[in-house]
Amino acid sequence: MDSPAHCSEWSEDELKQEVAGTPAKTAAPKRSRRLFGDFVVVLLGVFLALAAESWWSERADRQFERELREDMLAEFDANLRILESDIAVNDTSQVRFSFLPSLTEEELAAVGDEELTQRLSGYLDWAGFDPEMGIVQALVESGNLGAVDDRPLRLLLSRWAGLLEEKRRFNLQTVDFQNMIVTPAVARAAADLRWTEAERREVRDLFESLSLLQEGVTMNQRRLRDTALEVQQYLEDSR
């Protein structure tokens, strides 16, 4: 059997080893906790940076959208002024265009040659709508209306784009008919300052057709004006 002194010495050695080994055993968990804490800090930093970047990006997008809507509103304000002016001009032109078609055979024959020539001078003046150039017109011409996220606004702009295409066709038809058919006929009839019965009837029929074409131009402009008013109201309400 071991002596008491030996047992006491062994116990003391063992105790010293246990005491000496304690830091080595606890150092690894402390380093792990410290590394994990550093990782969490870095991770939080990344998340905060991404959140801040997303917030600034959304803020910039909202600012851009507000500026875009303000530009659209200004563009449609200008288009409304142009349309009102063009419609007023065309309403006056329509009265002049419909003069000859409104005459009976007797009334047409009673108009003097000089008066008829004077009445037809400048008769072919009318206003075709040229929209204000801006962000809306750029979207329309590029065919990129799908870039507008706001569905109701996109539908209004699509209607506007369709009416502009219709306007182009109406204007082209009216201009071609005016320049290629009506103007030469009037020039031939008025060349000798004497209007025959056949020339009067021909020009009257041509002016009836021209009046109908020009009326289509004006009706299209009224529809454009109504759509522009809707877009303007929508943009103002969504400010």
Query: pLDDT tens-digit profile of 69-81?
Result: 888 899 999 999 9
List, as own/partner pairs, every contact residues 194-201 make where C-beta atoms lie below 8 angstroms and the sequence separation is at least 24, other chains included. 194/113, 195/113, 195/116, 195/117, 197/109, 200/108, 200/109, 200/111, 200/116, 201/108
Residue 130: inside a domain: yes
Per-residue pLDDT tens over the stretch 152-211: 998 999 999 999 999 999 999 999 999 999 999 999 988 888 999 999 999 999 999 999
Does some domain include residue 46? Answer: no
- 36 within a domain of the structure (yes/no): no
Q: Which pLDDT belongs to residue 146?
A: 77
Mean pLDDT, rounded, for 20-49:
62
Residue 43 has pLDDT above 80, yes or no: no
Q: What is the domain count for the chain? A: 1
User: Does a structural domain hold residue 183?
Assistant: yes
State pLDDT tens for residues 88-120: 999 998 988 888 999 999 999 999 999 898 888
pLDDT confidence of residue 49: 62
Task: Check residue 28 and give its pLDDT.
Answer: 61
Identify the pLDDT of residue 5: 47
The pLDDT value given to residue 238: 84
What pLDDT, in 10s, does the model give residues 131-158? 988 888 888 888 877 777 889 998 999 9
Range of the domain at 131: 65-237
CA distances from 15 to 6, 95, 104, 213 (A): 14, 119, 133, 113
Does 1 reside within a domain? Answer: no
Q: What secondary structure does DSSP assign to the chain, as a single string?
A: ---HHHHHHHHHHHHHHHHHHHHHHHHHHHHHHHHHHHHHHHHHHHHHHHHHHHHHHHHHHHHHHHHHHHHHHHHHHHHHHHHHHHHHHHHHHHHHHTTTTT--HHHHHHS-HHHHHHHHTTTT------PPPSHHHHHHHHT-GGG---HHHHHHHHHHHHHHHHHHHHHHHHHHHIIIIIHHHHHHHHTTS---HHHHHHHHHHHHHHHHHHHHHHHHHHHHHHHHHHHHHHHHHT-
**Dist. CA 40–CA 190, nearest whole Å:** 94
Q: Is residue 39 part of a domain?
A: no
Closest listed residue to residue 160, CA positions, set 214, 230, 217, 91: 230
CA distance 126 to 185: 19
Amino acid at 154: R
Count CA atoms closer than 13 A to 95's CA, side-chain side: 5
Report whether pLDDT(41) > 80. Answer: no
- 25 lies in some domain: no
Q: Rounded mean pLDDT of 44-50?
A: 64
Domain membership of residue 53 (yes or no) is no
